[in-house]
Amino acid sequence: MSMTFSGQVALVTGGAAGIGRATALAFAAQGLKVVVADVDAVGGEATLGLIHESGGDGLFVVCDVTHDSDVRQLHERIVAAYGRLDYAYNNAGIEIEKGRLAEGSEAEFDAIMAVNVKGVWLCMKYQLPLMMAQGGGAIVNTASVAGLCAAPKMSIYAASKHAVIGLTKSAAIEYAKKGIRVNAVCPAVIDTDMFRRAYEADPRKAEFAAAMHPVGRIGKVEEIASAVLYLCSDGAKFTTGHSLTVDGGATAI
């Protein structure tokens, strides 16, 4: 089944690299205008450059999703440029802590929750009224397999991703009759800069990360992008409130 899209404008937060960049490029390849948002201006402009090189249309907006004013201005820029927002991928997030729960700091807790939870909440706070006014839309939030099960030595991160799933399901029910679908994608370990920072210093950890997936490898950013596009596409018109695992079988064990 080919993916088809009813609208014309997509937003990707955390679009400067990794899964966000891959998803922005995938949206552009479908002919959508793509708004890339990130705190990393260099990476964000690079993503936009790749979109333009492929013949696509879009814009980059510097945005810290933990600040209401930034998120509000992001969506105002989208309306000013394109007049609507059809698809939103709320992907901005920060990485896991590296110790047991009692070893964590208040600063770690606040930072992870601010980006991973407050950031998703703020983005949906502005996306939902905009989509209601135009008659519908689709939102996908980045959760994680860590939002579906226990995650030893990354309890704060796991709690943040459980919260994303809670926000996703609640918004899906609240806005189901408004023509807005809200879903989440739950990746396992994916080959990103975040993965390399966590594992490449110790090849044994990288080998363990691959082995934890029954398929025998970690995931690719393009595989998550494909899942996001499916959830936004007309092929998923009857899907809302769902957390789609893209995990190489990790949660099936």
Max Cα distance, the chain (Å): 52
Contacts of the segment 130-133: beta carbons below 8 A, 24+ positions apart: 130/75, 130/78, 130/79, 130/84, 130/85, 131/85, 131/86, 131/175, 131/178, 131/179, 131/180, 132/175, 132/178, 132/179, 132/180
For residues 168 and 107, what is the distance between their CA atoms, to the nearest angstrom? 25
For residues 133 and 128, what is the distance between their CA atoms, to the nearest angstrom? 9
Contacts for 236 with CB less than 8 Å, ≥ 6 apart: 138, 181, 183, 230
Cite the active site residues. Answer: 157
Residues 189, 212 contacting (CB under 8 angstroms): yes
